[in-house]
Structure 1
Amino acid sequence: MIEAVGLTKRYGDKTAVYNLSFQVRPGAVTGFLGPNGSGKSTTMRMILGLDNPTSGQVTIGGYPYRKLPNAPRQVGALLDAKAVHGGRTARTHLLSLAQLSGIPARRVDEVLGVVGLQDVARKRSKGFSLGMGQRLGIAAALLGDPQVLLFDEPVNGLDPEGILWVRNLMKALAAEGRTVFVSSHLMSEMALTADHLIVIGRGQLLADMSVQDFIAANSAGFARVRTPDTEPQLREKLSTALTEAGGHVLPEQDGALRVTGLELPRISDIAHESDVRLWELSPHQASLEEAYMRMTQGAVDYRSTIDQKAGLQQPLPPGAEPPMPVPGQGQPGWYAPPPPQQGGQPFATPQGQPGQPAQPPQAPQGPYAAPAAPTAPPAAQGETPNPYAQPAPAAPAAPAPAVDTTKSEDAR
């Protein structure tokens, strides 16, 4: 059993974990949940003796990790699957760990078979995929056949078959009476794997209860009611009757009704008394993800903002056209081509025969490039206009400079 009492960890003026107390009991898969930066990894490192707590203590079987005799035979952990020397083969990596802990070499081949890496046992780990690295990390955790196991994101990079395998492995280990502590951000997977949950936010304990109790405490169940789609008046009639009976009715987008405050038998009786036929009457409860989001919404440190696409371009004045070449616009350095075809690319200033669009320059400064003929002087006085800047007022009655092709014709 893992037990933390008043666990606190500070890094300078930052408190990563504060007064955290919990127990991880054997015989069950305990999920460890929390937003990014909530202190999960720091807590696991303190459990394994990799970080010293500022105050409080955490023990495994009544002893700190560093005082456990032959700790790798009692505790297995996967914290970072990439913590492997890339030049070593999978078998060599596990064999070195086994020799350090006095584990027989035959155990290495056993765990390679358990995690499915027996065919690549003699390949260097630097060529492993993310999922293969995860399997190698799990093999290292199982090497000593420990009674206590800690896994940090064990299904990261695994395919669906691998995720199912990890789920069944966790359940099988817990069924053998082992202590299994799993940290993950995949709520759907935790709902299928974990029996108990420990949830922290900003280093403090938010919940310590079973999965079922956690969902029930952080969500409200509702009944979904559906009447015949061809008779909308029945839906209105039932909605009125349910509201008068003390229920709270909300319409859903597909035409069904979401009812809270009334039990399903009562809803059925009201529909029968109102002579309303039902196509659906089903109970619904929030998922673990919904309950988790509701619990931790005040403890999230990293939130996304709205994608400010408009910030890439200054707003144009009212009535202004988008920066597209228009015949007769009269701005220096702009070429007035014929209207482009549907789906066509912007035209570049011609550099050869008139009437034929030239190839765009090698390094254009915007979607529409200024004339770049090597033998001709720059057009007008301005530089290549920035298509994302607000256009300057055009000079009054200033015609667009004509492209003189006489010299080029004479040259030919």
Structure 2
Amino acid sequence: MRSMIEAVGLTKRYGDKTAVYNLSFQVRPGTVTGFLGPNGSGKSTTMRMILGLDNPTSGQVTIGGYPYRRLPNAARQVGALIDAKAVHGGRSARNHLLCLAQLSGIPARRVDEVLGVVGLQDVARKRSKGFSLGMGQRLGIAAALLGDPQVLLFDEPVNGLDPEGILWVRNLMKALAAEGRTVFVSSHLMSEMALTADHLIVIGRGQLLADMSVQDFIAANSAGFARVRTPDTEPQLREKLSGAITEAGGHVLPEQDGALRVTGLPLPRISDIAHATDVRLWELSPHQASLEEAYMRMTQGAVDYRSTTDQKAGLMQPLPPGAQPPMPVPGQGQPGWYAPPPPQPGGQPFAGPQDQAGPYGGPGAGTPNPYAQAGPAAPQGAPQPPAHTPAAQPPAVAPAPQTSAPATPTEPEDAR
């Protein structure tokens, strides 16, 4: 496809730190693809490699079959918002866009068009150093749209925007995708991604965790349950119903507000049990996990910095017995399946089986999720992961550099 982004075996190391390891995925046109992952997971580094700002240590990433630096007049084909603050504060919004337009052979009238699209026409001649965070984001989006590109990358596009601005960005992303463009959006706002994205690519510690639709991601990383409430004034009824549901093969977990979380039984069956045991119900409702809940379950093993109280949070509780969903790990349970441990200091990740081809043809491409629940044992002689506790020994993950110009890679200061 002409405007598809494709990464194959993408790896990036900064000295002894591995920021991205063996990452393979595709971003197709016509849909909004969300790019998710904890802080330090390698999202910004990946986006910089897509845009040619960093060179991969190994592997490759292409846009329409070509590396970014080999695209003719790349600014007319690819638009990006990576760092909204990369603007000379003494320039007005209009002059900033005019400079970008002249460098790419874009007519000046297009500058006024995109200023109108992002709503900055009334402040177009004001110096950008006086802009709020949200205004800076709008100016960055205007720069991305300047060349009317077919491929758009946005890193945290709603950062600093008010609710009206967030809604505007959401509708803009959907409209761009509906026109057949490729839209790749990185964000930490799960509620917004649930409303905006059609497809998700999730990474953790530089490796692929999931590549699937939003609906499939939620279904694979959560278990639906029934919420059941009995009269608060009669706690003995709650205990009676809980025992009857357990006897019928259901699983019951108490909620903090006194309700019961029931899995393993359909709602009509729960209603029949309540009727048979003469228990009145105040509530019987189905519950489907949100994207945020599914994301928390998927990535909790790849979080570097965790509060000591996290274990008490409801999202960290294990799923009820018998309700553990299958994790989206290609090949898990098949002969030869092997999940590598995280990349190690020294820039030398553990090697998986060399004869296992991934979905893109290369050895090890599409390596299974190392953070999923335990699967079959590793092949005989395969290296074993060292003992590792995320809270006590954060893995070596390099942050993404903040500079906006292509340069020789140096060790970055921060990553998201």
- TM-score band w.r.t. shorter chain: 0.7 to 0.9
Cα distance change, pair 274–138 in 1 and its aligned pair in 2 (3 A): same
Question: How far apart, in 2, do the equivalents of 1:238 and 1:29 lie?
Answer: 45
Q: Structure 2 vs 1, CA of residues 406 and 319 (structure 1 numbering), >3 Å: closer, same or farther?
A: farther
Q: 1:165 to 1:255 in 2, by over 3 A?
A: same
- Are residues 51 and 247 of structure 1, via their aligned partners in 2, closer, same or farther at CA, if it must alter by over 3 Å? same
1:411 paired with 2:415, answer yes
SS across alignment from 2:240 = helix
The separation in 2 between residues aligned to 1:373 and 1:213, in whole angstroms, is 22
Q: What is the Cα deviation at residue 411 of structure 1?
A: 69
Shift of 1:410: 68
Query: SS at 1:297's partner residue?
Result: helix
Please identify, of 209-218 and 398-407, the stretch whose mean Cα deviation from structure 2 is larger: 398-407
Q: Is the 8 A contact 1:219 1:291 kept in 2?
A: yes
- Which secondary structure does the structure 1 equivalent of 2:165 belong to? helix
Instruction: Please say if residues 246 and 261 of structure 1, whose CA atoms lie closer than 8 Å, have aligned partners that are also in contact.
Output: yes
Contact 2:253 2:261 in 1 (8 A): yes
Shift of 1:255: 2.5
Residues 224 and 283 in structure 1, CA contact (< 8 A), matched pair in contact too: yes
**What is the RMSD of the two structures over their aligned residues, measured on CA atoms?**
22.6
The 1:372/1:133 distance shift into structure 2, 3 A limit, reads closer
Query: Following TM superposition, by how much is the alpha carbon of 1:97 offset from its aligned partner in structure 2, in angstroms?
Result: 0.7
Match of 2:138 in 1: 135
Structure 1 residue 315 displacement after superposition: 37
In 1, Cα distance between equivalents of 2:209 and 2:414? 84
**Shift in CA distance, 13/253, structure 1 to aligned 2, threshold 3 Å:** closer
CA contact (8 A) 2:62 2:68 kept: yes
Greater mean alpha carbon deviation, residues 257-266 or residues 225-234: 225-234
Structure 2 CA distance for partners of 1:274 and 1:312, relative to 1, 3 Å: closer
Distance 1:93 1:208 in 2: 37
The CA distance in 1 between the partners of 2:187 and 2:415, in whole Å, is 73
Trace 1:194-205 onto structure 2 (pairs within 5 A): 194-205=197-208
Write the deviation string for residues 2-36 of structure 1: whole angstroms up to 9, x where unpaired: 00000011111111111000000111111101111
Tell me the alpha carbon deviations over residues 122-162 of structure 1, each in whole angstroms, 9 at most, x when there is no partner.
Answer: 00101111110000000000001111000000011111111
Q: Deviations over 1:362-399 (max 9, x none)?
A: xxxx9999999999xxxxxxxxx999999999999999
CA-to-partner distance for each residue in 1:74-126, whole Å, 9 max, x for gaps? Answer: 10000000000111100000011111111111111110001000000000101
Matched-pair contact (CA < 8 Å) for 1:312–1:388: no
Partners of 1:178 and 1:405 in 2: CA distance: 30
Q: Which residue of 2 aligns with 1:162?
A: 165
CA shift, 1:303, in A, is 2.9
Structure 1 residues 36-45 or 337-346, which shifts more? 337-346
Q: CA deviation at 1:265?
A: 1.8
Q: 1:210 to 1:317 in 2, by over 3 A?
A: closer
Asked whether the 8 Å contact 1:3–1:23 carries over to 2, the reply is yes
Deviates further, 325-334 or 70-79: 325-334
**Alignment match, 1:373:** 365
How far apart, in 1, do the equivalents of 2:244 and 2:192 lie? Answer: 40
Aligned with 2:301: secondary structure? Answer: coil
1:227 Cα shift? 2.1
* Structure 2 counterpart SS, 1:215: helix
Give yes or no for contact 2:17–2:347 (8 Å, CA) kept in 1: no
| Larger displacement relative to structure 2 (96-105 or 329-338) | 329-338
Asked if the contact 1:329–1:400 (Cα under 8 Å) also holds between the matched residues in 2, the reply is: no
Q: 1:346 to 1:333 in 2, by over 3 A?
A: farther
Contact 2:293/2:315, CA 8 A, preserved across alignment = no
Are the equivalent residues in 2 in contact too, given 1:78–1:138 (CA < 8 A)?
Answer: yes
Once the two structures are overlaid, the 10-residue window that deviates more, 231-240 or 32-41, is 231-240
Distance 1:276 1:138, change over 3 A: same
- Give the whole-Å Cα distance in 1 for the aligned partners of 2:33 and 2:407: 76
* 8 Å contact kept, 1:328–1:336: no
Q: Is the partner of 1:50 in helix, strand or coil?
A: coil
Answer yes or no: is the 8 Å Cα contact 2:221–2:327 preserved in 1: no
The 1:336/1:208 distance shift into structure 2, 3 A limit, reads: closer
Q: State the shift of 1:297 in Å.
A: 1.3
Contact 2:23 2:365 in 1 (8 A): no
Cα pair distance change 1:262/1:307, threshold 3 Å: closer
TM-aligned CA deviation for residue 184 of structure 1: 0.7
Specify which of 96, 100, 107 is matched with residue 97 of structure 1.
Answer: 100
Cα shift at 1:237: 2.4
The Cα shift of 1:231 comes to: 3.6
What whole-Å deviation, never above 9, does each CA across 1:242-301 have from its counterpart, x for those lacking one?
A: 111011112223222111111112112222222333221111122211211111111112
Aligned residue for 1:308, secondary structure, equals helix
- CA–CA distance in structure 1, aligned partners of residues 119 and 103 of structure 2: 24
Any conservation in 2 of the 1:325–1:336 contact (CA below 8 Å)? Answer: no
Q: 1 CA distance for matches of 2:415 and 2:64? A: 94
Task: Using structure 1 for the length normalisation, give the TM-score.
Answer: 0.73
Alpha-carbon shift at residue 348 of structure 1 (Å): 69
CA contact under 8 A between 1:20 and 1:205: conserved in structure 2?
yes
Is the contact made by 1:314 and 1:388 (CA closer than 8 Å) also made in structure 2?
Answer: no
| Conserved? CA contact 1:77–1:149, under 8 Å | yes
What SS class does the counterpart of residue 406 from structure 1 fall into?
Answer: coil
The TM-score with structure 2 as length reference comes to: 0.72
Alpha-carbon deviation of 1:200? 0.6
Other-structure match for 2:394: 395
8 Å CA contact 1:238–1:276 kept in 2: the answer is: yes
Residues 243, 60 of structure 1: alpha-carbon distance in 2 compared, 3 angstrom cutoff: same
CA deviations on 1:288-343 (whole Å, 9 max, x unpaired) are: 11211111111112234579999999999999999999999999999999999999
Q: Secondary structure at the residue paired with 1:207?
A: strand
Q: Name the count of aligned residue pairs.
A: 391
Question: CA–CA distance in 2 between the matches of 1:322 and 1:227?
Answer: 28
Mind listing any 5+ residue stretches in structure 2 that lack a counterpart? 374-389
Whole-Å Cα distance in 1 between the matches of residues 324 and 190 of structure 2? 49
State which drifts further: 300-309 or 214-223. Answer: 300-309
Cα gap change, 1:311/1:133 in structure 2, threshold over 3 Å: closer, same or farther?
Answer: closer
Q: Distance in 2 between matches of 1:248 and 1:286?
A: 17
Structure 1: distance between partners of 2:132 and 2:147: 25
Partner of 1:339, secondary structure, is coil
CA distance in 1 between counterparts of 2:271 and 2:122 reads: 59
CA distance in 1, matches of 2:151, 2:412: 84
Structure 2: distance between partners of 1:101 and 1:81: 19
Larger deviation, residues 2-11 vs 224-233: 224-233
